[in-house]
Homo-oligomer: A and B are copies of this chain.
């Protein structure tokens, strides 16, 4: 459960190594953002990351947060979640999994993809290759509330 990809990352060393392995120059802002993402392992918006980054003292500008998250996603360090029309969420968990999405609270919950079998998916359109698959199960609070 502790593979090379995104190990524990408590130390700056391992974060820096992870960034370098993807060809990303490890600046202090990028290291902090990576630490923040991988220590919480939640689904965060750019705004969330910006607030957390600057909670104690100014550590990164909004532009840098957006650029860094975009860069991390592009390099496969994190995954973009397009689930809410209002904003993009970023998921530090890059292993195959799906999501529950509570449309009224915005809460995202992981669903392990190894449990889920999808069969009968048609072939990709000719001339295209797979980039990724998103399975989003939209839920809302039950009419009657929690059954006891």
State how many copies of this chain the complex holds: 2
A120 vs B134: C-alpha distance in the bound complex, in angstroms? 16
Task: Give complex CA distance A33, B3 in Å.
Answer: 52
Size range of the interface on A? 35 or more
Note all chain B residues with C-beta closer than 8 A to A132.
Answer: 138
Given the complex of chains A and B, what is the CA–CA distance between A133 and B126 in angstroms?
26
The answer to whether the Cβ of A1 comes within 8 Å of any Cβ in the partner chain is: no
| Residue of B whose beta carbon sits closest to that of A138 | B131
Indicate if A23 sits at the interface (CB-CB under 8 A): no
Residues on the B chain within 8 Å of A131, using CB: 103, 138-140
Whether A129 touches B139, Cβ cut-off 8 Å, given contacts A82-B83, A88-B85, A117-B119, is yes
A112 to B138, CA, bound (A): 19
Q: Judging by beta carbons under 8 Å apart, are B120 and A115 in contact?
A: yes
Residue among A82, A109, A116, A145 with the highest chain B CB neighbour number at 10 A: A82
Contact of A127 (CB < 8 Å), options: B103, B122, B127, B145 = B145
> Could you list 12 A-B pairs, sorted by A, with CB under 8 Å?
A80-B85, A82-B83, A102-B125, A115-B120, A115-B122, A117-B117, A124-B139, A128-B139, A129-B139, A131-B138, A132-B138, A136-B136
